[in-house]
Amino acid sequence: MSRGLLIVLSGPSGVGKGTVCNALRGKMDNIVYSVSATTRHPRLGEENGVNYFFKSREQFNDMIEQDQLLEYAEYVGNYYGTPRDFVEQTLDNGQDIILEIEVQGALKVKEKFPKGIFIFLLPPSLDELKDRITGRGTESQDTIDHRLSVAVDEINLMEHYDYAVVNDQIDHACKRIESIVIAEHCKVKQK
């Protein structure tokens, strides 16, 4: 059995990372969605090890100190991170694992796991990205402008990725990513 691939999918907010990941999971049998660790409390119906690995702040800090996370960040008073052991075990079992992650987190993962396959998901245009963010109806104009400014900065970091895929239509984006994964499995020489 060959080792699985670590696939990191990232891109600007509003580009459709979650939608594409969910569609990929329905199309690709051998792909596992990475389960993050968090210090936040479980919500109704969430299960430990399925939705998240729920940790105390002390346990999470221990994971940081022992370099057990590929990346982590604090958001709204809680920590979130990608447990290295879960990723390694999944890969050792011959399964591919996908991380849906923001750009800064992806670059941290690349430092610790350069053999990963890094895919940057792009909007068809900045105008389309603005329409998607505005269409949520949850953001103020200042927040929308800030997100677009950050998106431009993140797009400028695309050179650190292996592939770029435009999310013009979900099915098209998924087919391109599936093709990338197939090609990576067929490589004679891995990174």
Give the pLDDT score at 136: 67
**CATH number assigned to the domain comprising residue 35:** 3.40.50.300
User: In 3-state terms, the chain is what percent helix, strand and coil (to 5)?
Assistant: 45, 25, 35
Range of the domain at 118: 6-186
Within-domain flag for 107: yes
What is the model's pLDDT at position 190? Answer: 67
Please check whether residue 13 lies inside any domain of the structure: yes
The answer as to whether 18 is a domain residue is yes
Residues shown for the chain: 191
Q: What is the pLDDT along the chain (191 residues), one digit of tens a residue?
A: 689 999 999 998 889 898 999 899 889 988 999 989 999 998 888 899 888 999 999 999 999 999 999 999 887 788 999 999 999 999 999 999 999 988 988 999 999 999 999 999 999 988 888 887 777 666 788 877 888 888 889 999 999 999 999 999 999 999 999 999 999 999 887 66
Looking at the domain assignment, is residue 135 inside a domain? yes
Q: Which helix (H) or strand (E) holds 43?
A: none
What one-character-per-residue DSSP string does 90-128 give?
HHHTT-EEEEE--HHHHHHHHHH-TTSEEEEEE-S-HHH
| Under 8 Å between Cβ of 5 and 184 | yes
Whether 191 maps to a domain, the answer reads no
pLDDT for the residue 1: 61
Please tell me the predicted confidence (pLDDT) of residue 68.
95
Domain count, the chain: 1
Q: Is residue 116 in some structural domain?
A: yes
Q: What CA–CA distance (Å, rounded) separates 112 from 119?
A: 16
For residue 63, the SS3 value is helix
> Is 44 inside a domain boundary?
yes
In this structure, are residues 19 and 110 in contact, taking their beta carbons and an 8 Å threshold? Answer: no
Task: Evaluate whether residue 89 is within a structural domain.
Answer: yes
CA distance 30 to 191: 21
